[in-house]
Amino acid sequence: MTDTGVGMDAATREKIFGPFFTTRDVGQGSGLGLASVYGIIKNHGGFINVYSEKGEGTTFNIYLPASKKEIAKGAHRPDCHEIQNGHGTLLLVDDEDMIIKVGQGMLEKLGYRVLTAKSGQEALDLYEKQKDAIDLVILDMIMPDMGGGETFDLLKAIDGNVGVLLSSGYSISGQAKEILDRGCIGFIQKPFSISQAETALRYTSFFGSAKVPIALGDSSLLPLIIHRKVQVSSKSFTSLRH
């Protein structure tokens, strides 16, 4: 991928994959975009190179290992009409404006009422005021000031039965697994589609009704990993480890 923009000097190139590094003005960028790209590529066994000079544009080369698996014949992808609408109130927490905008639109299209927070502290304030109305929190793992792990612990202090679905552009290994082991009900990897969001919510069986876990026949639905059996507010549901 190549652009003809302003390019970067050597000092900038050395920092671009670091979390929260940005050359934009305060409030105009979180510095997590390239960090997420780097994490996703490394987790798939690949690597990324960047070539750039000041005033000469930038080129990124991404290398991923070739798969030896055969393409499944007759593989079935669910049509839009197979997506099941849900109900309930979700709190979507993410510091990225685009994630909030797109995520809220997808979740509302699925039938949910969606509250949003752009920081851990905002999420805590909102949850403390409306905890009786909020059925599930979708929580970004990497945020400035207060990360997902700290936010989760403080949500648990407010309500020991809080249901939290952890979300991140990174894989489930490392920090995500540590947070899951502290009681998150599951993990969904960003970016996720409307089908993946619907599947994650359906698999948690979180909102009562008749949403029972079913076998997923299409692995494309799974940057989703649901972690364990959880008891939340007297609602018991069993979910799958992937």
Which domains does the chain carry?
A: 2-63 (3.30.565.10), 80-237 (3.40.50.2300)
For residue 12, CA distances in Å to 18, 23, 53, 54 come to: 11, 8, 10, 10
pLDDT (0 to 100) of residue 139: 94
Q: Is 129 exposed, middle or buried (0-12, 13-18, 19+ CB in 10 A)?
A: exposed
pLDDT (0 to 100) of residue 137: 94
Work out the end-to-end distance of the chain between its first and last CA atoms, rounded to an integer number of angstroms.
33
Q: How many Cβ atoms are within 10 Å of 228's Cβ, its own excluded?
A: 14
The closest of 152, 125, 128 to 138, measured between CA atoms, is 152
Per-residue pLDDT of the chain (242 residues; tens, 9 = 90+): 888 888 888 887 777 777 666 766 555 555 557 777 877 888 788 888 888 888 888 888 899 888 888 877 766 655 544 667 778 899 999 998 888 988 999 999 999 999 999 999 999 999 999 999 999 999 999 898 899 999 999 999 999 989 899 888 776 666 778 888 888 888 888 777 888 888 888 776 443 332 322 222 333 334 444 444 333 333 333 333 33
* Paired residues of 93 in beta bridges: 117, 139
Give the DSSP H/E element, type plus range, for residue 52. Answer: strand 47-52
